[in-house]
């Protein structure tokens, strides 16, 4: 099988697939149109996020048997068209679930204990103790939306901090020793921390909007390591200003490029997030550890080999 690699990934992908007699070609620079012109020559593609695989692209890939994304989200692919054309879709959420879970906990600890702020103050000669009194995770009810790989890994870690973890998911009967499944209404009533672990789909676009935030009974901390467009930023900013959201941990932003490589839109809402002491922002790196880079690649290789060897 002839496979086109469109993004740089861990070298084990190349090493192990070549050892299994796959034919590999790398193209990390060609434009969308240039790749479209030659895609019919390949049986498979391995991608991250550089090029959107829309209906036009997929229909030109007449010989495609699979698309493998080194990562979890698949919103860059026209999934209904791919399925209609019989193209197998492969992703690797197992590879970075632990990285994401640790990032969630890390951001919460930094935000709730004012660690970054206090450290910067001391480095600037400011010694404030009462003003930097922290807020403990212990005893808090954490509500997760989405209970797949990322949600489960996050629940496991938060349960170790003495949190009560509840979650809402569109699939039934997912409760385990780390978290209890509840209705969305119950989650809104009980959660003191809200964390998103969902893909970006038509159903989840702006899932958390103004009315959703207003429905939350408690003032709460918000975490998003999923996709920026899962939440309406303008509504989040208003909730931060009003105090409904006590603080926000954002690894993803509504204003990111589709490739996640940078911010493509700047406005007053973004400037508020970047300047507020109540907000921590990181550049879409929750799943981006040295370990996850290797694990993501290994999961992809294992799934390709299982299906096509």
Exactly one of 168, 227, 232, 254 is catalytic; which is it? 227
Q: Which residues pair with 144 in a beta bridge?
A: 167, 195
Distances from the Cα of 263 to the Cα of 176, 197, 234, 253, angstroms: 38, 21, 16, 8
CA distance 89 to 278: 39
CA distance 191 to 205: 21
Q: Apex CA 210: angle with CA 207 and CA 214, to 5°?
A: 105
Maximum distance among all alpha carbons in the chain? 65
Whether 10 sits among the annotated catalytic residues: the reply is: no
Exactly one of 256, 264, 266, 290 is catalytic; which is it? 256
**Could you tell me if 250 and 279 are in contact, meaning their C-beta atoms sit under 8 angstroms apart?**
yes
Whether 26 sits among the annotated catalytic residues: the reply is: no
Whether 129 sits among the annotated catalytic residues: the reply is: no
**Could you tell me if 64 and 38 are in contact, meaning their C-beta atoms sit under 8 angstroms apart?**
no
Strand residue runs (E) in 175-265? 180-181, 193-196, 220-224, 245-250
Q: Quickly count: other Cβ atoms within 10 Å of residue 115's Cβ.
A: 15
- Positions annotated as catalytic residues are 227, 256, 284
């Amino acid at each position: 099988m002839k496979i086109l690699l469109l993004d740089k990934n861990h070298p084990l992908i190349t090493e192990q697939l070549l050892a299994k007699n796959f034919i590999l070609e790398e193209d990390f620079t060609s434009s969308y149109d240039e790749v479209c012109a030659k895609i019919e020559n390949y049986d498979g593609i391995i991608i991250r996020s550089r090029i959107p695989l829309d209906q036009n692209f997929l229909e030109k890939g007449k010989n495609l048997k699979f698309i493998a994304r080194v990562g979890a989200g698949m919103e860059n692919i026209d999934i209904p068209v791919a399925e209609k054309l019989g193209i197998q879709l492969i992703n690797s959420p197992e590879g970075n679930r632990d990285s994401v879970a640790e990032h969630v906990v890390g951001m919460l600890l930094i935000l709730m204990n004012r660690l970054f702020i206090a450290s910067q103050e001391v480095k600037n000669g400011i010694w404030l103790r009462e003003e930097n009194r922290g807020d403990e995770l212990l005893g808090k009810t954490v509500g997760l939306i989405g209970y797949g790989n990322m949600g489960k890994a996050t629940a496991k870690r938060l349960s170790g901090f003495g949190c009560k973890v509840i979650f809402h998911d569109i699939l039934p009967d997912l409760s385990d020793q780390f978290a209890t499944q509840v209705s969305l209404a119950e989650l809104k009533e009980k959660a003191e921390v809200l964390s998103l672990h969902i893909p970006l789909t038509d159903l989840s676009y702006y899932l958390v909007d103004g009315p959703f935030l207003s429905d939350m009974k408690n003032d709460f901390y918000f975490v998003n390591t999923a996709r920026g467009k899962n939440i309406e930023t303008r509504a989040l900013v208003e909730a931060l200003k009003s105090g409904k959201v006590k603080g926000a941990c954002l690894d993803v932003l509504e204003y990111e490029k589709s490739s996640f490589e940078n911010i493509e839109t700047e406005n007053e809402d973004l400037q508020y997030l970047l300047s507020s002491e109540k907000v921590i922002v990181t550049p879409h790196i929750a799943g981006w550890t040295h370990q996850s880079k290797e694990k993501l690649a290994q999961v992809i290789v294992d799934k390709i080999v299982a299906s096509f060897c």
